[in-house]
């Protein structure tokens, strides 16, 4: 079968980077327009247009990709357009980046050719996603709490 897996895992559990395996990135391809919040415990690649918040381990905005909203991640690579806010451990603004955002980071690299307008603030550490600062629905907040908890356990209840 084409979709046969070499391993099995219980339904509802996610493939996480912390368990030593690498998950497949979620890709919002060119031509796709999406509104709403995205929460992932893996990678999200944006090549289309997204309006909303993205919370993930790694977010990549490719050339031609556009995000309007807040990004909370461990690593963010921007080669497209971003308007909003970023909070991440490591941020890379690639040569094709056009960013109008406030950025909170531990490490940041701006490549020649990148366009950046906004405020930036370096901090010593970003322990968790700063999702508490954005307005989220109770089910989405519950998903974020699952991401924060070790081994997929729910750390708390929704508002």
Q: Do residues 53 and 67 make contact, with C-beta atoms less than 8 angstroms apart?
A: no
- pLDDT tens digits, 59-101: 999 999 999 999 999 999 999 999 999 999 999 999 999 999 9
Q: CA 48 to CA 54: how far, in whole Å?
A: 14
For residue 125, what pLDDT is reported?
Answer: 86
Distance from C-alpha of 59 to C-alpha of 79, rounded to nearest angstrom: 11
Q: What was the pLDDT predicted at 145?
A: 66
Do 49 and 33 form a contact (C-beta atoms < 8 A)?
yes
**Entry pTM:** 0.69
Distance CA 66, CA 45 (A): 11
Whole-number average pLDDT of the chain: 78
First to last CA, the chain: 43
Alpha carbons 2 and 79: distance in angstroms, whole number: 33
- In the predicted model, residues of the chain with pLDDT beneath 70 are 1-22, 127-159
Hey, where are the domains in the chain? 22-129
């Amino acid at each position: 079968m084409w979709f046969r897996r070499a391993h099995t895992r219980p339904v509802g559990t996610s493939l996480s980077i912390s368990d030593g395996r690498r998950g497949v990135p979620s890709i919002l391809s060119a031509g796709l327009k999406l509104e709403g919040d995205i929460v992932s415990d893996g990678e999200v690649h944006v090549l289309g247009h997204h309006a909303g918040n993205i919370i993930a381990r790694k977010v990549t905005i490719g050339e031609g990709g556009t995000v309007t909203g807040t990004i909370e991640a461990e690593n963010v690579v921007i080669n497209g357009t971003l308007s909003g806010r970023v909070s991440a451990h490591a941020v890379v603004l690639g040569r094709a980046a056009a960013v109008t955002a406030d950025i909170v980071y531990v490490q940041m690299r701006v490549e020649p050719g990148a366009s950046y307008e906004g405020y930036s603030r370096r901090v010593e550490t970003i322990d968790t996603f700063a999702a508490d600062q954005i307005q989220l629905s109770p089910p989405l907040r519950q998903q974020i709490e699952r991401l924060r908890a070790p081994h997929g356990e729910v750390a708390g209840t929704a508002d």
